[in-house]
Homo-oligomer: A and B are copies of this chain.
């Protein structure tokens, strides 16, 4: 906690005997982010971070109690990349969706951060600011705060789910050496071969897939899953926010 907030309340008050520390915590965190980004699916390793800053793995334990703490520091640090949406333009719906899209982009850039636990939040300053700005936007709707908290929960779930899907799609392409298209071709060929009665057993699924209106292609090199996920997020949140806005007749 003291590290997260760079608090000087509980500074070492050291007798200043012995050698001075050679590193700074910010440099370690920056190295940690760089290392984790370079292998998003695995995340950081103490050895790799140490090498990045030019010490042995064990030297890091003088600055940080364990790996989890370092990950928490890195997790909070990347949230500084999110710009404050509170002072943005537009109505609350559009600003909420923009908030979600910014956060998805953040998690796609730093996919390792998706494995940081929800159950016992980090409570760092930057992460806190991201939540604060969302609540600021939602408060303008003057809705019931209980409803608001539920909405916030679903928003985070949707954001992390979307980012995870995109990150996993990218990772799968690298790990398997197989294009999304190739994989799909292989998989559907395997399905055809091994289960001939798919259509009979799962008529609803087939129907839903067949009703798919095609996405326009894209020239930015993003994959199909990626574009599909982002479109679904935007429209899906549209549905959710419709429900949030409406006076609720049910329950």
Contact = CB atoms under 8 A, between A and B. Distances in A.
Contacts of A169: 119-120
A161 B157 contact: yes
B123 A208 contact: no
Contacts of A202: 128-129, 131-132
A250 interface: yes
A152 B229 CA distance: 12
Interface string A150-184: 11111011101110111011011000100000010
Given A5-B194, A7-B195, A135-B207, A168 B243 contact: no
B135 A2 contact: no
Contacts of A241: 243, 250
A154 B145 contact: no
Interface in A112-130: 117-120, 123, 125, 128-129
Copies of this chain in its oligomeric complex: 2
A205 interface: yes
Interface stretch (A31-39, A52-60, A230-238): A230-238
B1 A190 contact: yes
Contact of A239 (B151, B162, B195): B151
Contacts of A7: 193-195
Interface of A: 1-2, 4-5, 7, 9-10, 93, 117-120, 123, 125, 128-129, 131-132, 135-136, 139, 145-154, 156-158, 160-162, 164-166, 168-169, 171-172, 176, 183, 187, 190-191, 193-195, 201-205, 207-208, 211-213, 225, 232, 235-236, 238-244, 246, 248-251
28 contacts: A1-B187, A1-B191, A1-B194, A2-B190, A2-B194, A4-B194, A7-B193, A118-B161, A118-B168, A120-B168, A120-B187, A131-B205, A132-B205, A145-B211, A146-B213, A146-B235, A149-B208, A149-B232, A150-B239, A153-B232, A154-B158, A154-B236, A156-B161, A157-B161, A158-B158, A241-B243, A242-B242, A242-B246
